[in-house]
């Protein structure tokens, strides 16, 4: 069983944040808005050389996108690397990342969704904590919920996640290393050298735009792989469905499917926690120690240095 990692330090005003796009090309207006928001918050922003390009659906080829990330990782002035957007493509650069430099860097890494591929690989290869939170193209949006989530992230206030409105599928209490991210991305790492062991872990999963049967298929594959055989607990975020016009009938309730696939694992399982593809998402420090307790209805997270 791999021991938990230490949470990254809090960012301070004046720190330099590097912005890179390892997957899909970010929308220019949303990217500018996010960078402007970071600058107004008192941070120096350094953007990767290839972030603003466009080559197919990526901003650049795999080598250039990896170079942007490696350059930021090796730069001692950069205190955090904040990913521009998700989508798809991060997995393609995994063989090109300088994992040794990343391990030594001590930087804060922030992003979610497709960034799951980098986060899980980093935990396997370098033992580096990743903050599973908003991407740069989201934080500049003017809705107050995005600003609130951004503030919680930078102040390190996400050390306990309450789920009063969440659903307890299986009661219990568990402690372990927090792992996970986007279900679809994580499942596609199974069988590769980038997937960390889930033994003794509390697994956090979320997804967006997927039919219930597709989630069923992904969870079934995850279970049949043996990855859940020695899991400590499972916390599920939001699984926002696709638009109604795309729904494939006949459908099944998400809750009944989750109960069917996860209810007999003999570990605590909770659903509908406020993380994932939602406004005001809570930030999860992947790799850190966590305690899932269905009695107190909370997910306790390691406090970050400086709190």
Q: Which residues are catalytic?
A: 113, 206, 277
Structure tokens, 111: 């992003």
> H helices then E strands: how many in the chain?
9, 14
Separation CA 271–CA 25 (nearest Å) = 32
Radius of gyration of the chain from its Cα atoms, rounded to whole angstroms: 18
For residues 3 and 288, is the Cβ–Cβ distance under 8 A?
no
On whether the CB atoms of residues 163 and 53 are closer than 8 A, the answer is: no
Structure tokens at 194: 């980038």
Residue 240, beta-bridge partner list: 208
- Residue 251 CB neighbour total at 10 angstroms: 12
Alpha-carbon distance 126 to 193, whole Å? 13
Neighbouring C-beta atoms of residue 258, cutoff 10 Å: 22
Pair 286, 248: CB distance under 8 Å: no
Helix, strand, coil percentages (3-state) for the chain, rounded to 5, are 30, 25, 45
């Amino acid at each position: 069983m791999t021991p938990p990692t230490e949470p990254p330090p809090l960012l301070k005003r004046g720190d330099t944040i590097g912005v890179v796009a390892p997957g899909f090309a970010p929308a220019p207006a949303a990217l500018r808005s996010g960078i402007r928001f970071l600058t107004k918050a008192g941070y120096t922003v350094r953007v990767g050389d290839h972030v603003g390009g466009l080559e197919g659906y990526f901003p650049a080829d795999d080598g250039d996108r990896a170079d942007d990330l490696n350059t930021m990782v090796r730069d001692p002035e950069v205190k955090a690397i904040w990913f521009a957007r998700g989508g798809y493509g991060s997995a393609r650069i995994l063989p090109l990342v300088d994992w040794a430099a990343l391990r030594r860097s001590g930087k804060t890494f922030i992003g979610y969704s497709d960034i799951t591929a980098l986060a899980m690989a980093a935990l396997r290869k370098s033992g580096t904590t990743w903050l599973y939170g908003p991407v740069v193209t989201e934080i500049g949006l003017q809705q107050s919920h995005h600003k609130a989530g951004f503030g919680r992230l930078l102040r390190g206030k996400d050390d306990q996640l309450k789920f009063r409105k969440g659903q307890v599928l299986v009661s219990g209490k568990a402690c372990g290393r927090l792992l996970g991210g986007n279900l679809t991305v994580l499942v596609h790492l199974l069988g590769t050298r980038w997937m960390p062991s889930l033994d003794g872990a509390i697994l956090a999963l979320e997804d967006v735009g997927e039919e219930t049967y597709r989630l069923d298929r992904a969870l079934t594959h995850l279970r049949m792989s043996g990855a859940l055989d020695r899991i400590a607990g499972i916390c599920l975020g939001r699984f926002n469905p696709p638009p109604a016009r795309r729904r494939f009938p006949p459908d099944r309730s998400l809750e009944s499917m989750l109960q069917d696939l996860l209810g007999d694992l003999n570990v605590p399982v909770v659903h509908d926690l406020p993380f994932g593809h939602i406004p005001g998402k809570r930030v999860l420090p992947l790799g850190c120690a966590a305690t899932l307790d269905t009695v107190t209805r909370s997910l306790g997270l390691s406090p970050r240095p400086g709190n």
